[in-house]
Amino acid sequence: MSLVIVLLFDFQQRKFVKRQRRSSEESLQDVITVEASLFRFRITLAASLARLRIKFNLVNIDRVLPEIVKERQRMARGLPLHGWVNTQKASLGDVRDALTNEGFSDVDSVQRLRGHAFCVDRHCGDLLVFSPDLRAELSKTELVKDCKLVIQDKSCSLPPNAMRSVLTQEQCVLMTGSFSALTVAHVAAIAASCSGTVLVCESKEAKRKELEDVLSKMECTNVDVIPRNFVDLDPMGAELENAAVVLMMPQCSLSAISNPVEFIVRENRDVDLLQDLSRGSVSQGRLSNLVACQKQELAHAIKIPKSSAIVYSTCSSFSEENEEVVRRVVRSKLHIYRLSDTGLPSDSTDKAGDKDLFWLEASTESNGVFVAVMTRLGTFQQGAPVVEQPAERSKSKPKPTAVKSPTAGPSSGKALSKKQQGKRKREKLRKASQASRSEPPPNRARKTREPPLP
């Protein structure tokens, strides 16, 4: 059903004219079948649309959309273009110089983006921002063709950049969730800057092939693919034994995305969400299913024994998918993880007032995204976790004062065992008994017998 909706929308945008397929385009039988069916009923569909427009006095089809969807469309039209620098092939300075040589001007803020201007993003040091009108022109530059500059939504670049705050030399990054091959390449470039490697879980063969092609084109040689779902892996098994940092970008409601159709297609997200998003809200049932999967993945991730940090990110505006999922782990009785600074500059704290949670709201400058970084305090072992209490807990909660057992001796600093207490008690009773026998008996009044009367 979701495929039909996408193709019908595309068909309507083209005024019901048949789409010309490119010679290099991959043939997908489902797409071909749906396109053929829609084209066969094009006259009926166009007539039905015309009747609806007359009935509801609509200038265009957008008028039937909910107000929240129309607001998102308005924001999406003005979204700047973002591109991250592939440091596997070029440095940030090299890319900026190349753009300047091609006639672009380097400015200091998004507010000054006019014409061919660009600037460095305020949150991500490897991300450049352009006017949305430059997409076609940028795609023709050698920088983009050679994959030195990669055009991608900003919300996809924030989680990898938050990972920098916890990544150290020669560590392995495990990626789980739903993301495009471009995001994997971005993480690989960041990991390579500190001689690190990347592990990706992908069970579908077609997506593994696409991933291999993109990584080869971008010269990413530090990525290994595990052909299984993350939750099916043994967290203490050999496949995950080197995972030090876990980057989680699970399927979410995408409720903070202004251009969901484009985002879903480009970023390998769930097309079934389109029905909900077209109505302006996600059903409670679908939201509950998403949250359950997010909790399952996060619960699985904390069991990886050598992981020192987890970076969790969604493109959702719902607290159920964001801070509530994270705090469930942080406030767990296991005390394995705590919230840490994301390393991303923020203008304000999150809705609940926690400074360690990063929340960028959807606006005319970017889509919305939530990021949390959790660092390990203890270790998880099968059976029972070994808990290391964080330093700040001892400050806020004083240690209980040790109380000596009443049966302990004056110099004893430890409580006696039950056997020792019983022995000590019997000894005290024996001494008390001996003392009572050595003392003279107390004086007792003797009764005198009176003589009989004469």
Catalytic residue numbers, as ranges: 315
Could you give the CA distance from residue 158 to residue 53 in angstroms, rounded to a whole number? Answer: 42
Q: Is the dihedral of CA 301, 167, 159, 184 positive or negative?
A: negative
The enclosing H or E element of 158 equals helix 158-163
R_g of the chain computed on alpha carbons: 34
Query: Which amino acid, one-letter code, is at 147?
Result: C
Question: In sequence order, what are the residues at sequence separation of 6 or more whose Cβ sits closer than 8 angstroms to the Cβ of residue 269?
Answer: 178, 251, 254, 263
Contact 16, 42 (CB under 8 A): yes
d(CA 340, CA 165): 9
| Residue 35, marked binder | no
Q: What is the DSSP letter of 35?
A: H
Half-sphere exposure at residue 432, Cβ-oriented, CA atoms within 13 angstroms: 6
For residues 254 and 287, the answer to whether their CB atoms sit within 8 Å is no
Buried b / exposed e over 350-385, threshold 16 CB at 10 Å, is beeebebbbbbebeebbbbbbbbbbbbbeebeeeeb
DSSP notation for 379-431:
B--SSS-B----HHHHHHSPPPPP---TTS-TT--SPPPHHHHHHHHHHHHHH
Cross-strand bridge partners of residue 198: 173, 223
**Nearest to 261, CA basis, from 68, 76, 132, 80:** 76
Task: Tell me phi and psi for residue 113, to 5 degrees.
Answer: -75, 110
Q: Which amino acids are annotated as binding site for S-adenosyl-L-methionine, given as ranges? A: 202
Residues making up the binding site: 202
